[in-house]
Amino acid sequence: MSRSTIHILIADDQEVAREGYRRILETEPGLEVVAVADNGLDAVHLARANCPDVAILDIRMPEMNGIEAAHQIREACPQVGIVLLSFYDHPSYVRTFLKEGAAGKAFLLKQTIGRIDELVRAIKAVAAGQMMLDPTIIDDLMRDAPLASLADLTAQEMRVLERMAKGYANAAIAEALVVQERTVENYVSNIFTKLHLKNKGQQARVQAVLLFLEATGRLRRADELPKGDN
């Protein structure tokens, strides 16, 4: 077995979907499906037993939804890349999914996955720690965010923003940077102001993270990936 092989877990309550993914992905060089589940709870158990490189999860499954399953899988195996598949692009789903960090995560709409190579590219992206979003989702999340630049942020504000992108809460950022939590809150407020983000809650946090990832080349749109990047 090659060291470069990406080991994959697939979880989808629709047999046609999960078996279709499995059969096609197993024909791709460098990919190996090591476990298949038909509900979120079994997906978590199988991930804990196998610690795959990537978990492909349907957002709506019995026993446990894909977002909660992703959370529990990451708790057990922090390095697992997550590809979340959904028919729904509701921004609240995406914000919840990204709340604990964006690295190694992809959120794709089932109806826009035109060819299997798009799923393969998502798998390879999250295995490499990158983030990928369906372009429709990016547009929805960034609709109220004006064009902004990170150039006005101080070095310390950039350090705070980088940790926000990794899913650190303010208390954890304060501990990492050896400052008071109130100081971090001020940094976060300054970041939102400098990036012209009107909403100061979780929506602004996700928008700020997306801007940071895009500026640092860590955010990839599914429709902008090079077609030969397999």
* pLDDT tens string 110-136: 876 656 788 898 999 899 888 888 877
pLDDT the model gives residue 3:
52
Topology classification of domain 6-139+218-224:
Rossmann fold (3.40.50)
Residues of the chain within CATH 3.40.50.2300 domain(s) are: 6-139+218-224
Query: Is a pLDDT exceeding 50 seen at residue 226?
Result: no
pLDDT the model gives residue 227:
44
Residues of the chain within CATH 1.10.10.10 domain(s) are: 150-215
Summarised one tens digit per residue, pLDDT across range 180-189 is: 999 999 999 9
Residue pair 195/209 in contact (Cβ under 8 Å)? The answer is no
Q: Which range, of 46-55, 68-77, 125-134, 214-223, averages the lowest pLDDT?
A: 214-223
pLDDT the model gives residue 222:
64
In percent, the amount of the chain with pLDDT more than 90 equals: 52
pTM of the shown model:
0.77
